[in-house]
């Protein structure tokens, strides 16, 4: 049982492989020839443990390739027969589940656009009652850990115990180097909530282009993720969907070969003793930081009272801009990242406003 009361079986028990687990194949099954040829080349690398392909594609806008449908399941199974590797595809409703079970698909995954809708997840869960099959769940497209967690709870209540999370990044209005913002802290939050849950990273969807896949893959393994799901195609530039984020089987092999796989622990006594000392220092510094923050908020409370007595607004934009400029410059000189400093200041400023708001709205007690 997990912290959340979930019954889980680790990937090692249902895939019988060691870390890192590698799942690869084309974004979409386009033709039987393309599907089988890609699977054979991916399997020939000797580094892949399961073949993936989209059969039904939930596209953002109509007119884009929406998958081969049930016909594509036959191609996926042909790939399984040719390579001897298990196969996995995405399901979004009960009909998809039933078709996959009938065809002999080994592992299912719930996509980001489905995870965001509890009704759809429940439909998939209901269709899986009484079925013993592994199910992986991608994070919802929006940054909501509760939705992600809820999907696992629904599936677990239906009797599914072989589960894993897939971290594929989150949609964002802000344009950055990634197609989907990694927001690693949210993946870490889910892992903290369900420590026994294995997590696979999907660097293809996070990166959005093949040049960043290696970087994202290594980052995922450094964060102790169980494995990777990387899209591979025999001719990526001619792919019918997500061409820019797919790699050739040869490039896939190179990416995997160059990964550094780290361990969770070591028997090295010097390492353990040194780590223990450093962690004690961290604990002491954290205590000091918390004490300083507490003292700061008490001063904010006094400021709020003073503003109230003098009928002055809580927000002082000029003062806030001054704080941001001076503190970021100071922290930069100390070697701290500007973005980190800015985020920290925003959190502190938000809490300070909350404290002062309580003071402003406090009704005087009657004697």
Sign of CA dihedral 139, 140, 144, 145: negative
pLDDT tens string 102-119: 999 999 999 999 999 999
CATH number for the domain running over 269-361 = 1.20.59.10
pLDDT grade for 366, boundaries at 50, 70 and 90 = very low
- Do the beta carbons of residue 194 and residue 232 sit within 8 Å? no
Quick check: 367 pLDDT over 70?
A: no
- % of the chain at pLDDT higher than 70: 98
Least confident stretch, 90-104, 211-225, 313-327: 313-327
pLDDT tens string 187-213: 999 999 999 999 999 999 999 999 999
What are the backbone angles phi and psi of residue 180, rounded to the nearest 5°? -125, 125
- Do the beta carbons of residue 210 and residue 244 sit within 8 Å? yes
Q: Which CATH number fits domain 11-257: 3.30.300.180, 3.60.10.10, 2.60.40.10, 3.20.20.70?
A: 3.20.20.70
Identify the H or E element spanning 322: helix 317-333
The residues with which 88 forms a beta bridge, in sequence order, are 52, 107
Please state, rounded to an integer, the average pLDDT across all residues of the chain. 94
Domain extents in the chain: 11-257, 269-361
pTM of the model as a whole:
0.83
């Amino acid at each position: 049982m997990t912290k959340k009361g979930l019954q889980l079986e680790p990937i090692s028990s249902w895939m019988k492989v060691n870390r890192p687990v590698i799942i690869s194949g084309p974004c979409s099954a386009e033709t039987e020839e393309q599907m089988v040829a890609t699977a054979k080349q991916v399997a020939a690398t000797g580094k892949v443990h399961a073949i993936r392909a989209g059969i039904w594609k939930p596209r953002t806008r109509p007119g884009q390739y929406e998958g081969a449908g049930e016909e594509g399941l036959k191609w996926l199974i042909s790939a399984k027969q040719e390579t001897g590797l298990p196969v996995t595809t995405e399901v979004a409703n009960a009909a998809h589940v039933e078709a996959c079970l009938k065809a002999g698909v080994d592992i299912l995954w719930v996509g980001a656009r489905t995870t965001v809708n509890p009704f759809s997840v429940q439909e998939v869960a209901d269709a899986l009652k009484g079925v013993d099959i592994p199910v992986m769940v991608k994070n919802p497209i929006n940054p909501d850990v509760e939705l992600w967690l809820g999907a696992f709870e629904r599936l677990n209540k239906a009797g599914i115990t072989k589960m894993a999370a897939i971290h594929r990044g989150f949609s964002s209005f802000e344009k950055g180097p990634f197609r989907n913002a990694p927001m690693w802290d949210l993946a870490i939050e889910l892992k903290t909530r369900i420590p026994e849950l294995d997590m696979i990273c999907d660097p293809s969807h996070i990166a959005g282009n093949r040049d960043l896949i290696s970087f994202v893959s290594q980052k995922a393994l450094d964060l102790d993720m169980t494995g990777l799901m990387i899209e591979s195609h025999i001719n990526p530039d001619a792919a019918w969907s997500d061409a820019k984020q797919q790699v050739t089987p040869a490039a896939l092999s190179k990416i995997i070969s160059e990964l550094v796989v780290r361990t969770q622990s070591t028997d090295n006594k010097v390492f353990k003793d040194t780590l223990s000392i450093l962690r004690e220092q961290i604990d002491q510094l954290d205590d000091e930081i918390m004490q300083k923050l507490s003292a700061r908020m008490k001063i904010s409370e006094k400021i709020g009272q003073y503003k109230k007595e003098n009928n002055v607004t809580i927000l002082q934009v000029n003062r806030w801009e001054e704080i941001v400029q001076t503190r970021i410059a100071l922290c930069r000189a100390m070697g701290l990242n500007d973005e980190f400093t800015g985020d920290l200041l925003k959190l502190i400023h938000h809490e300070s406003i909350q404290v002062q708001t309580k003071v402003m709205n406090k009704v005087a007690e009657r004697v």
